[in-house]
Copies of this chain bind each other. A is one copy, B any other.
Amino acid sequence: MKTAYIAQYRDSLLQDVVPFWMKHSIDREWGGFLTCLDRDGDVYDTDKFIWLQCREVWCFSMLYNQVEPKAEWLDAAVQGAEFLRKCGRDEAGNWYFSLTREGKPLIQPYNIFSDCFATMAFGQLFKATGNQDYADIAVATFRNILARQDNPKGLYTKAVPGTRPLISFALPMILCNLVLEIEHLLEVELVERVIDEGIHAVMDVFYQPEHGLILENVNPDGSFSDSFEGRTVNPGHGLEAMWFVMDLAARRGDDALIRRATDLTLSILEYGWDQEHGGIFYFLDISGHPPLQLEWDQKLWWVHVETLVSLLKGYLHTGDKRCMDWFEKVHAYTFAHFPDPGHGEWFGYLNRQGEPLLSLKGGKWKGCFHIPRALYQCWKTLEAIVEKEEAGKVAQLS
């Protein structure tokens, strides 16, 4: 059974998803990537969103570093990085949100996640190339994120200062992953401090013990804000964060933290699962009120694949059978609904009933990132599970 899963994840990654992006998304005229691809891979829009440009550089670099040193993967990553190096930042070194196809800035650097994904991209590409320029960009961008982290939107903040000073989950969550991505470029003390702060934020501040859930926004002291923002639960965010935390916990040998992250994975998933149609909701209101997001009941690709990673890592580390049961259920839903065998790659957006809501394979927010990263992570985690089981090391809970 698990060996069949290994083949399925590996083959989906290497025979379907990666070739689709290699074939359709490289902009051989202007450099960088064309990410707005229709069902067949044809380009329907040429704007370049920094999130997706950076994530695709990261993805091809990671494949080169982790799977196989293929020249075509490295070439794809390097040409994307050169486009970004030339056009991606304002004079202060902040990353724009989007560019035109030719690289002219379109949308200002209001969004700090552009900088997060730039750090990942250049950190991973440095590993592949040894080019110190890439390391320098990664480190400078990372330090800029830390400097901006208490006011990430800067000038573009619409909240009146002081009235309801909420803090948001997304940045501390991403930092938990980002710090390991560029650990090789940072001093040890900084790495340990960012890890401590990240784990504290995710597992203490945003985690709500009475619900077994993570909130998207809380008061600065971690308490509940009874407002639209404060009531918002994004199950996919919490589920993705759990494998980031498990990776940090595994690095430190902290079994208790792995146990907590595994339990939290299961409780978020039980809460977020659509009992009627299957799949995981996109947004919910923790008090059961109507969520603000009209897309709340949709089923998104990244939510499902990130959940698969957390379930497998939870199983690998704890042997908790509930992880494997849920993995089989989420795997079945995911592979029955998201891949598009006739045309290649995966749909990104399904309606509540599980039918494709949009035919795109890539757009403003979906690019070459969550699916290949998760397929790789699942493949390798399944291999580790099999290895451990063969060595008789997985504790079988029931």
Contact = CB atoms under 8 A, between A and B. Distances in A.
Copies of this chain held together in the complex: 2
B44 A163 contact: no
A100 interface: yes
A155 B154 CA distance: 12
B106 A159 contact: yes
B45 A289 contact: yes
Contact of A107 (B156, B159, B359): B159
Interface residues of A, number: 42
B363 A292 contact: yes
A107 B360 contact: no
A44 B290 contact: yes
A131 interface: no
A391 interface: no
Contacts of A110: 158
Interface string A101-143: 0001111101000000000000000000000000000000000
A359 B290 CA distance: 7
A248 to B, nearest CB: 32
Contacts of A47: 227-228
A50 to B, nearest CB: 13
30 contacts: A38-B289, A38-B290, A44-B289, A44-B290, A45-B228, A45-B289, A47-B227, A96-B160, A97-B158, A100-B164, A104-B163, A106-B159, A106-B160, A106-B164, A107-B160, A108-B159, A108-B160, A110-B158, A156-B158, A228-B364, A290-B358, A290-B359, A290-B360, A292-B364, A294-B294, A294-B295, A294-B298, A294-B358, A296-B358, A297-B357
